[in-house]
Structure 1
């Protein structure tokens, strides 16, 4: 499941390249730039801020992940709704009525009937599609008719009825399909949450590395400003002794101003990088100071496409989600195939009924009395041609085939993503080595050019050019280290290994 890493020493930090040059008396412009750089760095807390801590905060506070959790919660409720269709349903109805007939043609007083009725029942749906109903009813009838044999008269009955589809809507697969579909929907929601977690982890890694790059780049720009300022101060001193010309002083001053501009731009990049990271790991916490950050130790490995692709097919949420959606559409197709049949329902009902003058005697006679009723019937309904049913089946079949094709497309795109991610890691592994060598050579070039200038064999312009080359090389090496880690983060997102790498445990459904 996991790659076999061969731990190496941490790649050397570019900003740890120390130059043994000391500054002369600071120029006013240098003091202002240094103060600005110090202010930027002071905004960060002195406590270290690890990548693991940032990821933990992002998983707790990221807005996108919080929104995704609501979708997962709704999927759980949808499953409860589907299962509730098989919960027994209780019914209770009561009523009272009075009826008095007017007899204008006779001297008799109109007949008055008082009736009270109550009915209670329970209905249960079962997996075969049948509906079972058990009902109990009671009627009390009182009258002012002196010829009534029972006054009041109580009627009670107990009945059981069953309605079972025989064609359309029959069978456990069709009737349990909504529950199974909701279960798959919950799994899809969980996979979507996993996908969002992987994306948040990858984005947090990228934002963290970008902040490291921005801060370290600011240090490089500040050191370049220091070198440019020293050259300017030395040329100013040499101008008084006639060793250099006004052009050398002017070139050195241009170098100072260009370095100051680079520092200002780098300071803005640091603030922007801090905001982007805070946007991922917090909620409206842009004024919070971020601690010191550093590129975490990395381990090298030989990227393996076959291994990464196998992991991606097994763990990549989008691919697994598409496979689960196919299962849902297979259920829809099975239901649509069954529903192409006509409706044929078998209805069976039977029960007992009694009638007596008291409530107690009525209920006592209920199971032993002579009153009973039963019925059985078949109900057939078949729309002419079943055109709508056939069209629904064809639609379900087309949806299934479409999703199967989309799964193949996702599989191909996944292979492309893995190939690209593996290639990016391989390229950046080589780039780190090349960039480190380029930095070493640029540092030697600068030192030699500076020595030639001190000996009067070079010009300020050539020293500034060598200084620019050194700065570019140092920034490029830093960028190569960041690119390597970002490429590894993307590969870990694709094959799903970020969860194990950062000890992330997702809640069960």
Structure 2
């Protein structure tokens, strides 16, 4: 950026300043002259404007011109941005400071000249809707980590101390005596769940109890226990079902993002073609208006010369008015399409530049020829994000059936407990078992069985019916996908044929216009017929550019519907691998 400041006036006094800001590659902007207070090294404090505000402008080069009123000489001081990265300018009003602050930002917003690929990449990088959808998969992946946390080890502990007072009676007589008991202890437990459903636990603890100030008695114990479900909850198919469903949800979110990305890329490409189509229609409108005005001027001249009747003026003038209406509509359509594309290219976090122009560099190669329709259908059945999402949803529902079917079984768990205890009159001694040692062992079964089990039966029936429903929905989706792809293929063939037909029509209409114009000049036609020929020629030109754009957009739609748009544009996105049927993991 280049900023030039021109100060005119006596030294140490208020100056008049003209500021010119020119960004790199942009047009030069010049501010109106406004009063400026100078706060240089030699300026007295009482001469400075107290209402002035300091603004820092980072520049690459500064040209400062000071002119004395009593002398015509000037000094030009070039300043390198590397040595002096910013200058301090004191503004005399808040409004002027806002103007200076906003101008560099606006000057930095230059017009855009992009190819379609550049526009797509820019939209993917800046559009907030893409950023919103991009966060879906990381959010969904948190549920996967949450389900995996069920197999994390759990450490539990407790520490306590207590005291109790009471009366006791001897069995040999009725004498009573008071008893005071002091107790304290600590327990530690580490447990984890294995994928097979087995729950392992390691526990240890130490306790001490003192009765009526007797000698302390410490007990320490360490043990291991295992609980294995035998019916309900047994096996990895049930234990890992929730985790597998969370993984399927993550993959579904990836295919959902891929589908959104394909639709968004297609939207950006269509917006580029619509913008250039609107610009071509406007150019055709301008040329048609100029042709109508030339015809009107010629008609007026011939009326003045007496070669035509005065009634011919109305038809020529009406055609000019009609062409102006078309130009107004074309200008409005161009502005609307420009705003649509800018909305796709911009980010809400940055200052938007809705007034800048966008020009698209169109490819000079002819449109691609579509492949065989069955190849596009097979591609769609494998790569369409909706198909892959439906297959994953079906696999997820199969896991629901597994869980609910297992829920019909009664709960029957086998447990085994092993432990070793030590006794002593001290804490360390209890760990070594100085006074005595003991072992404990337990094995058994525990379980329950809800009588009737109507809740579990209802859940199983719902999961089974939902699975059948999703199978039918998958079959229906296959039919819809095939219909979409075949219809898009037919549309591509129609647009290609229409492009050739409209080109021939345009050439014939231009020949017709030239013939009608020559007939008018020799007095064998009327202004009305010439105007009609001009209208037909302009419409033929519009139809030709419309057919060319329709052909490109039909190809974009076909590639989006068969799931190959991102691959053809060399864009990488999650969900590039197709889902195999009946492959839930």
Q: Please indicate, yes or no, whether the TM-score normalized by the shorter chain is above 0.5.
A: yes
- Give the match for residue 322 of structure 1: 390
- Give the match for residue 570 of structure 2: 503
**Residue 348 (str. 1) matches residue 398 (str. 2):** no
**Residue 112 (str. 1) matches residue 176 (str. 2):** no
Instruction: For residue 452 of structure 1, report the CA deviation from its aligned partner.
Output: 1.2
- Give the match for residue 229 of structure 1: 293
Please say if residues 408 and 456 of structure 2, whose CA atoms lie closer than 8 Å, have aligned partners that are also in contact: yes
- Residues 260, 508 of structure 1: alpha-carbon distance in 2 compared, 3 angstrom cutoff: closer
Instruction: For residue 484 of structure 1, report the CA deviation from its aligned partner.
Output: 0.6
**Residue 247 (str. 1) matches residue 311 (str. 2):** yes
- Give the match for residue 200 of structure 1: 264
**Residue 279 (str. 1) matches residue 325 (str. 2):** no
- Residues 490, 243 of structure 1: alpha-carbon distance in 2 compared, 3 angstrom cutoff: same
CA distance in 2, matches of 1:369, 1:310: 78
**Residue 336 (str. 1) matches residue 404 (str. 2):** yes
Give the secondary structure class of the aligned counterpart of 2:266: helix
CA distance in 2, matches of 1:323, 1:196: 18
Give the secondary structure class of the aligned counterpart of 1:246: coil
**Residue 97 (str. 1) matches residue 165 (str. 2):** no
CA distance in 2, matches of 1:162, 1:47: 69
Q: Deviations over 1:16-45 (max 9, x none)?
A: xxxxxxxxxxxxxxxxxxxxxxxxxxxx96
Please say if residues 279 and 286 of structure 1, whose CA atoms lie closer than 8 Å, have aligned partners that are also in contact: no
CA distance in 1, matches of 2:549, 2:486: 20
CA distance in 1, matches of 2:480, 2:357: 38
Deviates more, 1:276-285 or 1:472-481: 276-285
Please say if residues 165 and 345 of structure 1, whose CA atoms lie closer than 8 Å, have aligned partners that are also in contact: yes
CA distance in 2, matches of 1:307, 1:243: 66
Flag structure 1 segments of 5+ consecutive residues without an equivalent.
1-43
- Give the match for residue 251 of structure 2: 187
Deviates more, 1:300-309 or 1:190-199: 300-309
After superposition, where does 1:370-409 map in structure 2 within 5 Å?
Answer: 370-409=437-476
Give the secondary structure class of the aligned counterpart of 1:170: coil
CA distance in 2, matches of 1:103, 1:47: 96
What's the RMSD between the two structures over aligned residues?
Answer: 2.4
Flag structure 2 segments of 5+ consecutive residues without an equivalent.
1-108, 577-585
- Residues 107, 330 of structure 1: alpha-carbon distance in 2 compared, 3 angstrom cutoff: closer
Instruction: For residue 236 of structure 1, report the CA deviation from its aligned partner.
Output: 1.9
How many residue pairs end up in the alignment? Answer: 461
Which one scores higher on RCO, CA 8 angstroms, separation ≥ 6?
Answer: 1
Instruction: For residue 501 of structure 1, report the CA deviation from its aligned partner.
Output: 2.0
Instruction: For residue 140 of structure 1, report the CA deviation from its aligned partner.
Output: 2.7
TM-score (norm 1): 0.86
- Give the match for residue 313 of structure 1: 381
- Give the match for residue 490 of structure 1: 557
- Residues 321, 508 of structure 1: alpha-carbon distance in 2 compared, 3 angstrom cutoff: closer
- Give the match for residue 35 of structure 1: none
- Give the match for residue 359 of structure 1: 427
Please say if residues 214 and 269 of structure 1, whose CA atoms lie closer than 8 Å, have aligned partners that are also in contact: yes
Please say if residues 367 and 552 of structure 2, whose CA atoms lie closer than 8 Å, have aligned partners that are also in contact: no
Please say if residues 258 and 575 of structure 2, whose CA atoms lie closer than 8 Å, have aligned partners that are also in contact: no
Q: Deviations over 1:94-146 (max 9, x none)?
A: 11212234799x9999543332221111110011112111111111334543x
Say which structure is richer in helix: 1
- Residues 448, 45 of structure 1: alpha-carbon distance in 2 compared, 3 angstrom cutoff: farther
Q: 1:128 aligns with which of 173, 180, 196?
A: 196
Q: 1:436 aligns with which of 503, 525, 528?
A: 503
Give the secondary structure class of the aligned counterpart of 1:448: helix
**Residue 175 (str. 1) matches residue 243 (str. 2):** no
- Residues 428, 89 of structure 1: alpha-carbon distance in 2 compared, 3 angstrom cutoff: same
- Give the match for residue 52 of structure 2: none
**Residue 217 (str. 1) matches residue 281 (str. 2):** yes
CA distance in 1, matches of 2:117, 2:505: 32
Give the secondary structure class of the aligned counterpart of 1:200: helix
After superposition, where does 1:56-75 map in structure 2 within 5 Å?
Answer: 56-75=121-140
CA distance in 2, matches of 1:261, 1:179: 64
Q: Deviations over 1:282-314 (max 9, x none)?
A: 235361524322443333324311100111111
- Residues 108, 381 of structure 1: alpha-carbon distance in 2 compared, 3 angstrom cutoff: closer
- Residues 143, 490 of structure 1: alpha-carbon distance in 2 compared, 3 angstrom cutoff: same
- Give the match for residue 9 of structure 1: none
**Residue 468 (str. 1) matches residue 532 (str. 2):** no
